[in-house]
Structure 1
């Protein structure tokens, strides 16, 4: 079976059928038997020869394997190891570098070892540090961050972008007849971007944005913000642009402070918090996210391989290797990474569904709308089957 997974077909009308075929291939890859190989990130990274004659594609993985974010980094590294086995990518030499020991030192080591592309880092505030070293060497970066402020100029984001989740949920709500929108956003850069996205999305969908209130954190701030929002006027839908944990405090406050019947919208951050499905105040809320269909199969394989459940973010690690395997088909070892292949408008398929990179470094994903019901998240509007032009 081919180790590469990519959407095919030159015409827009062919994309849907192509994606269905690729989805089947992706499921077969995830169900393939996997042999044991060393777990990514254990021990110091080896020094490798940049000799292109060995036929290997050298890929650096920059992650925190120790320290406060070590669990996240290790889950991502494990996912890449699983993907290397599943795709049988024997021509990809993946070397891990622990950014917790110093981002600059890890990047310099990766460059010196002859790597032609960097997967990582995890945090957006580390991307510029990596880019300052990698860009002069024409080494592209595929970061696991979703910080849109660091994308561009050979930096691509694999992270799920909250603006797409908000736009998808708003458009679905508008299609279902909701028209008057309000929102509660954290007082942060994330909140400011959520506010800007909501404003644009509501306008584009033909709705009315009644008002937006900022929350500074803490139950008292949430209570005050929900009261202010309620006082702005009637609204039939409210976006809570924050984490699942924050939503568990915010939604009850909405209900007791005058917005008892408003439909609640969330973001894709809710997809990583299963506790929402066990709280009755959250029942009926909607949020847009990537599909969990392939992820659930991947998670089962991960548990079998590593004896623990993966973190939801780890799917980005798996998909990054699927992407490398796809690009490796037309990438001569020892040469510069073919960046132009990343912006193929037909896109790619991974554990998190179909996605494609834009020229500005951002990622466009096909999202579905899910509803929180008793004990589960239920898909109520499937992801599109084709990218818009």
Structure 2
């Protein structure tokens, strides 16, 4: 375990926590009436930022800090993303100068059950993490009886609810957003390629429901295994039930790059290609000529790019895209901590504020079922870059 504590500074003790957003170099967290300025210049690299205090033997007991547990994999196959999430939470604690929060990291790779049990024994009132959906279920079985809520990085909607809140981006929301935009451009006949498996089943269900809701028609939905022969065979079947104006590739950017040429060759030379927020993490997509003009919905990258610059300056490497969730989890906690008495249970009711919150990934809020709803923008694949064709709303 490694414990992150924001060191006391005499100047900041005279400042009200309500003004922490003014000193944060990236973003502030607030209700939906707050606005994050776009186009701001990236902040200069930090010169002499303090670092969290090292872990000492045992967990200190005090009456001045909120105890928060961070459950992430710090060893094993997922150590890279876990460490990136941990680094992001450290940055957020430093940027917000949150003196009343004590965060302790627990390595889920060494056993998520043991990590969760130790977190509860140490007196933590909130758990941030874990990363994997199976780990969320295991953690909830321990945290729920103790009355400790969970802010998980998972995007598995099946793990949400009953004091478990998901920070992860829900794929169905990006599908709904891009269908709405396509309909606004006059498209009513849709087709889709979806991978075999749970993700593909959920994507197909979302497409069918959303197209029906907007008054359109789903001409064809074809499934495939993730290999070239299967993808090509699926594209040949796409147009068997008639022409379509748009086709959704419900998969990551690499699979979209493989599928697009087959769509053009076997199914449609002109249909609009649509994608999900999985495309936002593809480093190859913007370099593919076949994908030019394709649309996908995702969170905005404006504030994330500023954060990534600062992260690289501090840690000497690029952050995982998912690490923004770690930063935002701390921003949310700091916001709630303004009206949270130390030693009392975490005020869960504040998480479902209909006005929502603002973070690196834009405006978001938690619905009563524990799933996060996010304001998404529609991006277009261009030559070497992505361009915004429909900005994300400023609030709900």
Q: TM-score, normalised by structure 2?
A: 0.90
Residue in structure 2 matched with residue 315 of structure 1 by the alignment: 324
How far 1:3 moved relative to its partner? 2.3
How far 1:47 moved relative to its partner? 3.2
Give unmatched runs, 5+ long, in structure 2. 1-17, 22-27
How far 1:300 moved relative to its partner? 0.5
Larger helix share, 1 or 2? 1
- Aligned counterpart in structure 2 of residue 328 of structure 1, from 323, 337, 358: 337
Root-mean-square deviation over aligned CA pairs: 2.1
Residue in structure 1 matched with residue 133 of structure 2 by the alignment: 124
How far 1:258 moved relative to its partner? 2.4
1:47 aligns with 2:64: no
In 2 relative to 1, CA 192–45 (structure 1 residues): closer, same or farther, beyond 3 Å? farther
Residue in structure 1 matched with residue 19 of structure 2 by the alignment: 2
1:382 aligns with 2:391: yes
How far 1:35 moved relative to its partner? 4.3
How far 1:259 moved relative to its partner? 1.4
Aligned residue runs from structure 1 range 51-130, under 5 A: 51=62, 53=63, 55-130=64-139
In 2 relative to 1, CA 28–62 (structure 1 residues): closer, same or farther, beyond 3 Å? farther
How far 1:207 moved relative to its partner? 1.0
How far 1:7 moved relative to its partner? 3.4
- Aligned counterpart in structure 2 of residue 240 of structure 1, from 237, 249, 266: 249
Partner-residue secondary structure (3-state), 1:142? strand
In 2 relative to 1, CA 134–218 (structure 1 residues): closer, same or farther, beyond 3 Å? same
Give unmatched runs, 5+ long, in structure 1. 9-14
Partner-residue secondary structure (3-state), 2:34? helix
- Aligned counterpart in structure 2 of residue 301 of structure 1, from 307, 310, 319: 310
Q: Deviations over 1:155-184 (max 9, x none)?
A: 000000111100000000000011100001
Partner-residue secondary structure (3-state), 1:3? helix
For 1:386 and 1:246, locate their aligned partners in 2 and report how far apart those are by CA, in whole Å: 33
Residues 368-377 or 193-202, more deviating = 193-202
- Length, aligned pairs only: 373
Residue in structure 2 matched with residue 154 of structure 1 by the alignment: 163
Aligned residue runs from structure 1 range 101-250, under 5 A: 101-250=110-259
Partner-residue secondary structure (3-state), 1:170? helix
How far 1:229 moved relative to its partner? 1.2
Residue in structure 2 matched with residue 12 of structure 1 by the alignment: none
User: Are the counterparts in 1 of residues 39 and 302 from structure 2 also a CA contact under 8 Å?
Assistant: no
Partner-residue secondary structure (3-state), 2:337? helix
Q: Deviations over 1:16-62 (max 9, x none)?
A: xx232xx149979977957444479xx878632454x2x10111000
Partner-residue secondary structure (3-state), 2:76? coil
Q: Deviations over 1:275-314 (max 9, x none)?
A: 1001111110000000111011001000101011111111
For 1:379 and 1:183, locate their aligned partners in 2 and report how far apart those are by CA, in whole Å: 23
In 2 relative to 1, CA 122–114 (structure 1 residues): closer, same or farther, beyond 3 Å? same
Partner-residue secondary structure (3-state), 1:330? coil
For 1:214 and 1:115, locate their aligned partners in 2 and report how far apart those are by CA, in whole Å: 45
Q: Deviations over 1:294-346 (max 9, x none)?
A: 01100100010101111111100010010011011011111100000100111
How far 1:215 moved relative to its partner? 1.1
How far 1:198 moved relative to its partner? 0.6
Q: TM-score, normalised by structure 1?
A: 0.92
How far 1:126 moved relative to its partner? 1.1
In 2 relative to 1, CA 337–278 (structure 1 residues): closer, same or farther, beyond 3 Å? same
- Aligned counterpart in structure 2 of residue 344 of structure 1, from 334, 353, 356: 353
Partner-residue secondary structure (3-state), 1:95? strand
Residue in structure 1 matched with residue 268 of structure 2 by the alignment: 259
